[in-house]
Chain A
């Protein structure tokens, strides 16, 4: 799989991975956002479960 947008360094500007495929870049960006949302949701669930445990005590 060739993921590089650059074939030579002449005039190479945007050099990051998948630079030639904007849809792929957007997909990676939204995946990053989804991961952060997932982590925050997981944190909320964790805090609620910990709170319940302490309440039972």
Chain B
């Protein structure tokens, strides 16, 4: 083998390893992102009152499940085809502005949308984007808990996760998206395309949906409808943070040459990401602590701190990221309070955490990173570009959410009936209950314990002539003579208690619940007289 052949073999091996590394990297980013959904599950169940906790959890699980096939069906195609929509060559062109040829690989029956030994990238990229989509749905789901119908939630979540946010991603999170090309819009870790869109979509739904019963008094003052399990909520929030390391990692691209670039093709690296992720997280927690000292808002502040730095996560000086996160941590409780005063009942503060912090993050890039160059032919970052981009993201989230929720309300399928809301969604919608030990229909009480709890049966007061005889004299204290046969057995000699009466079917002693047909119940105690308690 000559030298050229050896070099060619080495190059081929390196290229193969790079491709495999790419697959491995996105595989584990996707796996880590599932922690976001585990976190949202715990977060929203804990933030619900106990009568609604399983319904909130079910909603979250279904959002995840519905996002996967719908994103396969049309979400991925929209990302590949919609980067210039609705602007065609001659102005607005709603039909012709899609890139049908470029998105041919994204149709559900395309060769790349399934097992293909020649394509080691499409599957893992599709999976990462699907998890981004599921994240948007989870972000939105927390705001509407405890009164939205499950079916209405699924419809709106699919609209958000598989249509709206991915269209925004195609516009502003794609190297040739029209917002990027025209305005130099920069949103490296999806502060706008995921968080702003999801937060304002939630706001759009919340307006027609209305507040929970009991949230507002007649005079307009608000009540604090606390969730039933704050520790579960806090644990969930921390799990979301863990998952976001996968999310943010998947915002970097490991290119075939083995280099890191961000979603716009601009050189970047994981070290830059991790500096600012951690600093923003810390700043957000401390900012919320400074203002509220409430652990719920502190953990939400940690999330908001990350979103506040997400748009420029690979550019900020880390102490600046801390300060941006700190401001984000202050924005959240202030924004949530403002919405509450406006009569908007956001159960978990999702609009403030994701919507407001996302906008703040986009503007911060315009303020602190202005002039940073784009890839070839892309304008540099500018404040006006970021401001216009934030406006587009707000509208892109808010308008579809509002319109869809209004349609569902007109059809009468947006919100559960008042009786159901008062009773609890778990009882109405879920064939199970969260805490059976603490009451609720279908409670199972093992009958085995029943007799033990009863007081011992009272004996009837003895008649005067049945009273115990006086204690025997000393010479009488000897054992009674041994009976010669069973018939001679004494029935109660001097110095002894009278023998117990023969067993009777006294219901007060042996009464048990009638046997149930339910196989899960414990068998009642035997009615055999030998097993009865005295």
Verify A4–B373 contact, CB threshold 8 A: yes
Contacts of B272 in A (CB 8 A): 15-16
In the assembled complex, the Cα of A29 lies from the Cα of B319 at a distance in Å of 5
Interface size of A as a range = 20 to 34
Verify A17–B373 contact, CB threshold 8 A: no
Chain B, 241-270, contact with A by CB distance < 8 Å: what is the 0/1 string? 000000000000000000000000011000
The residue on B at minimum CB distance from A14 is B317
Verify B320–A17 contact, CB threshold 8 A: yes
In the assembled complex, the Cα of A1 lies from the Cα of B381 at a distance in Å of 11
Q: A2-B371, A8-B373, A17-B315 in contact; A39/B286 too (CB < 8 A)? A: yes
| A28 interface residue per 8 A CB criterion | yes
In the assembled complex, the Cα of A29 lies from the Cα of B279 at a distance in Å of 12
Verify B290–A18 contact, CB threshold 8 A: no
Verify A36–B319 contact, CB threshold 8 A: no
The residue on B at minimum CB distance from A18 is B317
In the assembled complex, the Cα of A19 lies from the Cα of B315 at a distance in Å of 10
| B326 interface residue per 8 A CB criterion | yes
| A48 interface residue per 8 A CB criterion | no
8 A Cβ contacts from A2-52 to B: 2-4, 6-9, 12, 15-19, 25, 28-29, 31-32, 35-36, 38-39, 42-43, 46
**Separation in Å of the A9 CB from the closest CB of chain B?**
6
Verify B317–A36 contact, CB threshold 8 A: no
Verify B266–A32 contact, CB threshold 8 A: no
Q: A16-B317, A18-B317, A31-B323 in contact; A9/B266 too (CB < 8 A)? A: yes
Contacts of B289 in A (CB 8 A): 39, 43
Cβ-defined partner of A3 (8 Å) among B267, B286, B318, B368: B368
Contacts of B318 in A (CB 8 A): 16
Cβ-defined partner of B293 (8 Å) among A6, A15, A36, A46: A46
Chain B, 369-394, contact with A by CB distance < 8 Å: what is the 0/1 string? 11111000000110000000000000
Contacts of B368 in A (CB 8 A): 3, 17-18
In the assembled complex, the Cα of A46 lies from the Cα of B108 at a distance in Å of 59
**Separation in Å of the B439 CB from the closest CB of chain A?**
34
Verify B314–A28 contact, CB threshold 8 A: no
8 A Cβ contacts from B348-379 to A: 367-373
Verify A35–B323 contact, CB threshold 8 A: yes
**Separation in Å of the A40 CB from the closest CB of chain B?**
10
The residue on A at minimum CB distance from B327 is A35
Chain B, 409-452, contact with A by CB distance < 8 Å: what is the 0/1 string? 00000000000000000000000000000000000000000000
Interface centre among B267, B290, B318 (most CB of A within 10 A): B290
Q: A12-B267, A28-B323, A39-B286 in contact; A19/B370 too (CB < 8 A)? A: no
| B316 interface residue per 8 A CB criterion | yes
Contacts of B316 in A (CB 8 A): 16-17
8 A Cβ contacts from B309-334 to A: 312, 314-320, 322-323, 326
**Separation in Å of the A34 CB from the closest CB of chain B?**
10
Contacts of B286 in A (CB 8 A): 35-36, 39
**Separation in Å of the B297 CB from the closest CB of chain A?**
14
Q: A12-B267, A35-B323, A39-B286 in contact; A4/B317 too (CB < 8 A)? A: no
Verify A4–B371 contact, CB threshold 8 A: yes
In the assembled complex, the Cα of A25 lies from the Cα of B320 at a distance in Å of 9
Verify B381–A25 contact, CB threshold 8 A: no
Contacts of B372 in A (CB 8 A): 4, 6, 15
Verify A32–B315 contact, CB threshold 8 A: no
Contacts of A31 in B (CB 8 A): 319, 323
**Separation in Å of the B384 CB from the closest CB of chain A?**
12
The residue on A at minimum CB distance from B320 is A28
In the assembled complex, the Cα of A11 lies from the Cα of B368 at a distance in Å of 21
The residue on B at minimum CB distance from A7 is B373
The residue on B at minimum CB distance from A15 is B315
Residues of B at under 8 Å CB distance from A?
266-267, 272, 286, 289-290, 293, 312, 314-320, 322-323, 326, 367-373, 380-381
Residues of A at under 8 Å CB distance from B?
1-4, 6-9, 12, 15-19, 25, 28-29, 31-32, 35-36, 38-39, 42-43, 46
Closest 10 CB pairs of A and B: A2-B371, A4-B372, A32-B319, A4-B371, A16-B317, A29-B319, A17-B368, A39-B290, A28-B319, A32-B322
A to B CB contacts below 8 Å, 7 in the list: A3-B369, A16-B320, A17-B315, A17-B320, A29-B319, A35-B286, A39-B286
